[in-house]
Amino acid sequence: MGTNLLLLLAGAALLLLVGAKQTMFTIRPEEQGILLRFGKYVRTVDPGLHFKLPFGVEDVFKVPVQRQLKQEFGFRTAKSGSETQYVKRGYEGESLMLTGDLNSADVEWVVQYRITDPVLFLFNVRSVESTFRDISEATMREIVGDHSVDEVITWGKEQINQEVNEKLQERCEQYETGITIQVVLLQDVNAPPPVQPSWNEVNAAEQEKDQLVNQAKTKYNAEVPQAQGEASQVIKEAEGYDLERVNHALGDREKFIQVYEQYRRAREVTRRRIYLETMTEIMPKAGRKIIVDEAEKGIIRFLNLSEEGVVK
């Protein structure tokens, strides 16, 4: 009798100890606890010490809602730290894609996300992480299929990141996964290994073409403005010469009209004045000057006005 009582008390104590241990649980700062009673959602608890009913009556699922999670496609991180190591073998099926211009591209990318609704994340979608992975891969293939291989491999990566981010977030909300996308990042994007040498040759040719185009533009920018400036200067000089000739002609016309008016009013006086003005302009330009008096007969008398005839 005493032994049975002792065993009963020991069992009760053990039961109380196990129950007490199952009753208490702790939620860490980056987590939220989802409490179920007989498999049905009851409440969400925040970080700290909490209690629940033991013996399977209530269960708690801890969800890292404050932690940034990620999924890798086309590779896996084998070792992180100062010397991060990646493994690509075995994941080619995720990364090999068809572009919009029917070329192939080897696309590796990362999706960083957070769980913003832990209840939806746990209970609304079966195998939510696997489903989310399938949605991410399907979305990337769709967006890559809308772009050329040049965009995917070279200059269109930022646009593709943005488009995949937006489309993936729409689908996560549509399927009520409880996930919010933080960022989509294309990593190593290249032509597939079998065609990589040909792609490198094409890329080198494109770079050479761009270099020649830039050189031509530089030469154009250096020479064409100079030629345009010279042409503009010639045009301005011609316009100035034209304006000068026109003004000169107009001045001669006005002068002629004035002289004509004076001549019409006093013909003899005007004729004499014009003669004297003309001789005044001509005489300084003449060389040797000899004036002969026509009235004299016999011995010719003349006035030597040249420098040789001046006695000093």
- The reply to whether 252 and 213 lie within a common domain is yes
Q: Is residue 2 part of a domain?
A: no
| Mean pLDDT within 7-29 | 69
| Mean pLDDT within 279-293 | 69
Q: Is residue 6 part of a domain?
A: no
Burial class (CB in 10 A: 0-12, 13-18, 19+), 91: middle
| Mean pLDDT within 210-233 | 83
- The reply to whether 95 and 167 lie within a common domain is yes
Q: Which residues contact 169 (CB under 8 A, 6 or more apart)?
A: 180, 181
Q: What is the pTM of this model?
A: 0.64
pLDDT confidence of residue 277: 76
**What does the pLDDT look like over 120-166, one tens digit per residue?**
999 999 999 999 999 999 999 999 999 999 999 989 999 999 999 99
Provide the number of structural domains found in the chain.
4
- The reply to whether 277 and 300 lie within a common domain is yes
pLDDT confidence of residue 111: 98
CA distance 160 to 158: 5
- Provide the pLDDT confidence category of residue 312 given band limits of 50, 70 and 90: very low
Domain boundary among 234, 249, 265: 265
DSSP-H helix ranges across 179-312: 196-265, 267-282
pLDDT confidence of residue 309: 47
- The reply to whether 94 and 51 lie within a common domain is no
Residue numbers of the domain that contains 58: 20-66
- The reply to whether 28 and 98 lie within a common domain is no
Identify which has the larger pLDDT, 2 or 75. Answer: 75
Residue 242 pLDDT > 90, yes or no?
A: no
- Provide the pLDDT confidence category of residue 204 given band limits of 50, 70 and 90: confident
Residue 13 pLDDT > 80, yes or no?
A: no
Residue identified by tokens 């700062």 is 29
Residue 301 pLDDT > 70, yes or no?
A: no
- The reply to whether 106 and 213 lie within a common domain is no
Domain boundary among 233, 250, 265: 265
Question: Domain with 110 in it: what CATH number?
Answer: 3.30.479.30
| Cβ-contact 191, 106 below 8 angstroms | yes
In degrees, rounded to 5, the angle at the alpha carbon of residue 100 between the alpha carbons of residues 96 and 103 is 50
**What does the pLDDT look like over 70-122, one tens digit per residue?**
999 999 998 777 678 889 888 999 999 999 999 999 999 999 999 999 999 99
Among 9-18, 50-59, 156-165, whose mean pLDDT is lowest?
Answer: 9-18
| Mean pLDDT within 227-245 | 82
Q: Is residue 164 part of a domain?
A: yes
**Maximum mean pLDDT: which of 46-55, 236-245, 249-258, 299-308:** 46-55
Cα end-to-end distance, the chain, whole Å: 176
Which residue from 97, 42, 103, 37 is spatially nearest to 73, judged by alpha carbons?
97
- The reply to whether 182 and 98 lie within a common domain is yes
Among 36-40, 175-179, 183-187, 279-283, whose mean pLDDT is lowest?
Answer: 279-283
Q: Is residue 15 part of a domain?
A: no
- The reply to whether 232 and 260 lie within a common domain is yes
Burial class (CB in 10 A: 0-12, 13-18, 19+), 266: exposed
- The reply to whether 251 and 270 lie within a common domain is no
Residue 12 pLDDT > 60, yes or no?
A: no
Beta bridge partners of 186: 109
Q: Which residues contact 91 (CB under 8 A, 6 or more apart)?
A: 73, 74, 75, 76
- The reply to whether 236 and 180 lie within a common domain is no
Q: Is residue 4 part of a domain?
A: no
Q: Is residue 297 part of a domain?
A: yes
| Mean pLDDT within 176-195 | 93
- The reply to whether 36 and 150 lie within a common domain is no
Residue identified by tokens 């200067």 is 233
| Cβ-contact 110, 95 below 8 angstroms | no
